[in-house]
Amino acid sequence: MKRRLLNRNEVIHSPAPAVAKAIRNFDSSEASRYFDGYYGSSLVPEIARRFRLPINRVSVGYGIEFFLRAIFDSLEPRRDIVLTNAPHYGFYSVYADVKKARLITCQILDHGDHFEFDINDCLHKIKEFHPKIILITSPNNPTGNSMDPRAVESILKASQAIKKRGRVPLVVLDEAYYGFDPNYDERAVVRLLKKYENLVILRGFSKYYALAGLRIGYALWGARAKAIIRYDDLYLGGSRLLEEVAVAALHSEPYYRKLSKSIIAERQRFIARLSRLKNFIPYASNANFVMVKIDKRVMPEFKKREAKLGAAISKFTSPQFIRVSLGFYKDIEPFAALLESIDKKYA
């Protein structure tokens, strides 16, 4: 029996009804035409209105990866430095290696039941290495912890205190996992965007909006952030179909808020359930996944028995940590029961 692969953090619930309707009702005759004029978009004005930004400060692309590639492509091989945290999203290391760019990391602290960005280490590394790109992922993949807007601002201030060949570094706030932190202060983050010209915020429709398979992302730029990497928007515009779908998603906030609350509730139930175990330690998370530390003595049995489950919802991020993607109860229940069974055996 082929296992279902559910460990890549997609929100596998159905998207909003309006999204499905937009796909069904798309006028196929529009598929043969570009947007009117150049740099056309139906999605950019919607996003610009939401954040009260000029249209030229919003860009749309093929998922967040589209913008990350543009950012890494701006690097000069073996000369420019990217600063990010460790552990981090694997794409950062892969593409830095492709571009032959130096990737420097600052620490994430392990407090036993939650992770925390080491801001002092980050500020020290900014001063020491003068990176061209400072890449913050919040909530972070794979650790699930967020960075407070005040900490983000301290990094922005430090970035403006240095210059890389006459320019301040680009500070990238990757918010791929936006939408699952009930304490997230969007107003404070957007204020930073309007205050600091070298900040760019990246978001996508893959997680919160349950549209990973359609690959839609957007960037919110500080006043001079585009110039730092010489970024130019899509001259012939994007996909008419994808943008219509994304607009429908933006107009379906009540549906997605409800979906987010259900995922947060499932996350809390999962963490509470594992917190009673001795050999599996769950970590607090603001994303749609949970990091779990596994005691070494139960590792062989965990690997053997987990491989027999019908769905793979966990993924090793280091020898002792797994990242568990939150999906449907029918998938989480047997996984949690498996951990409980192993824990009981080794009590």
Mean pLDDT of 7-18: 94
* SS3 state of residue 252: coil
**pLDDT recorded at residue 277:** 97
Residues 134 and 177 in one domain: yes
- Render pLDDT for 257-267 as a digit per residue (tens, 0 to 9): 999 999 999 99
**pLDDT recorded at residue 330:** 87
- Render pLDDT for 168-221 as a digit per residue (tens, 0 to 9): 999 999 999 999 999 999 999 999 999 999 999 999 999 999 999 999 999 999
Contact by Cβ (8 Å): 35, 234: no
- Render pLDDT for 237-249 as a digit per residue (tens, 0 to 9): 899 999 999 999 9
Residues 217 and 334 in one domain: no
**pLDDT recorded at residue 49:** 97
Contact by Cβ (8 Å): 43, 64: no
Classify residue 341 by burial, with Cβ atoms within 10 Å: 0-12, 13-18, 19+. exposed
Residues 196 and 54 in one domain: yes
Residues 89 and 225 in one domain: yes
- Render pLDDT for 264-280 as a digit per residue (tens, 0 to 9): 999 999 999 999 999 99
Please say if the pLDDT value at position 151 is more than 90: yes
Structure tokens at 107: 């620490």
**pLDDT recorded at residue 204:** 97
How far, in Å, CA of 197 to CA of 57, rounded?
A: 11
**Residue among 289, 290, 277 nearest 341 (CA):** 277
CATH code (residue 264): 3.90.1150.10
**pLDDT recorded at residue 347:** 85
Residues 144 and 290 in one domain: no
Please say if the pLDDT value at position 27 is more than 60: yes
Picking from 189, 220, 251, the residue at the C-terminal end of a domain is 251
Determine the structural domain holding residue 32 and report its residue range: 17-251
Residues 204 and 320 in one domain: no
Rounded mean pLDDT of the chain? 95
Q: Distance from first CA to last CA of the chain, Å, rounded?
A: 32
Residues 150 and 39 in one domain: yes
Q: Which residue has the tokens 């196929």?
A: 28
Mean pLDDT of 308-313: 92
pLDDT grade for 38, boundaries at 50, 70 and 90:
confident
Mean pLDDT of 86-94: 94
Task: Give the number of domains in the chain.
Answer: 2
CATH code (residue 163): 3.40.640.10
- Within 8 A by CB and 6+ apart from 110, the residues are none
Residues 321 and 219 in one domain: no
Mean pLDDT of 291-315: 95
**pLDDT recorded at residue 86:** 95
Q: What is the pTM of this model?
A: 0.95
How far, in Å, CA of 281 to CA of 271, rounded?
A: 9
Residues 58 and 8 in one domain: no
